Amino acid sequence: MNKIQKMKIKEILSETISQINDARYQYYVSDLIENDVVLSMKNYIQHGTTTTFDHCLSVSYYSYKIAKKFNLDARSVARAGLLHDLFLYDWHKVMEKKPLFQKHGFTHPKAALDNAVKYFNLNDIEKDIIEKHMWPLTLRKVPKYRESIIVTMVDKYCSTRETFAPLVEKIRKLNFIIRKQYL
């Protein structure tokens, strides 16, 4: 990525993060948002047409809001939510011919945790969130903290929404065309 591309991404990012009108959230994740490794998640599609970065940002912010409401560690939730899918590869291509238990859904939490630990200092809650966010798919990796459960559930919600959003949009357009023709 050249310097101009990085500047453009950072401009888009500042717009995205400034739309989240929560100074405390912005403070918690500001160093992550500006990190080139985290920014590189914009190069990968996660669900449907959503980038891994955008997915992680959604999970991070929604989880943060819930943790804050329940007086939990909102900082750890915000940061780990942003890093929970820091696996840094195109899983659509890399994993397609692997046996079931070596597929992306089972293996990416470890890859994300390894990358997150490599680039950032994490506390125990953040590590647990990243490592266990795919529970119950990863049966033996049961979340230890309430914060981990929040990110796990919000991740499922965001993933479902992102996966089916393109399909829902196609159905809406089709309904519009049908109504227009027959009404």
Q: What is the pLDDT of residues 1-18, one digit of tens each?
A: 455 544 444 454 444 555
pLDDT at 100: 47
The whole-angstrom separation of Cα 55 and Cα 112 is 14
Q: Rounded to whole angstroms, how far apart are CA atoms 86 and 79?
A: 12
Find the farthest-apart pair of alpha carbons in the chain and give their distance in angstroms, rounded.
60
User: Is the distance from CB of 65 to CB of 158 less than 8 angstroms?
Assistant: no
Enumerate the domain spans of the chain. 41-182
Looking at residue 14, what is its pLDDT?
A: 46
Residue 18 to residues 26, 110, 145, 180, Cα–Cα distance (Å): 8, 31, 30, 39
pLDDT score of 170 = 66
In the prediction, which pLDDT does 142 show?
77
Phi–psi pair at 47, nearest 5 degrees: -130, 130
Fold classified for 41-182: Hypothetical protein af1432 (1.10.3210)
Question: Tens of pLDDT along 30-81?
Answer: 899 888 888 878 887 776 677 889 889 999 999 999 999 999 999 999 999 9
In this predicted model, what pLDDT tens digit does every residue of 109-159 receive, in sequence order?
A: 788 898 899 999 999 999 999 988 777 666 677 789 999 999 999 999 888
Contacts of 29 (CB under 8 A, 6+ apart): 17, 60, 78, 79, 82
Tell me the C-alpha distance between 129 and 175, whole Å. Answer: 40
**51: helix, strand or coil:** strand
Q: Can you tell me the distance from the alpha carbon of 56 to that of 46, in angstroms, rounded to the nearest whole number?
A: 9
CA–CA dist 128, 7 (Å, integer): 33
Please, which residues bridge with residue 50 across strands? 47
Task: Spell out the alpha helix ranges (H) of 45-145.
Answer: 52-69, 74-83, 91-94, 104-119, 124-132
Question: What is the per-residue pLDDT for 166?
Answer: 67
The DSSP 8-state label assigned to residue 183 in this structure reads -
Instruction: Report the Cα 183 to chain-centroid distance in Å.
Output: 42
Contact in structure between 112 and 81 (CB atoms under 8 Å): no
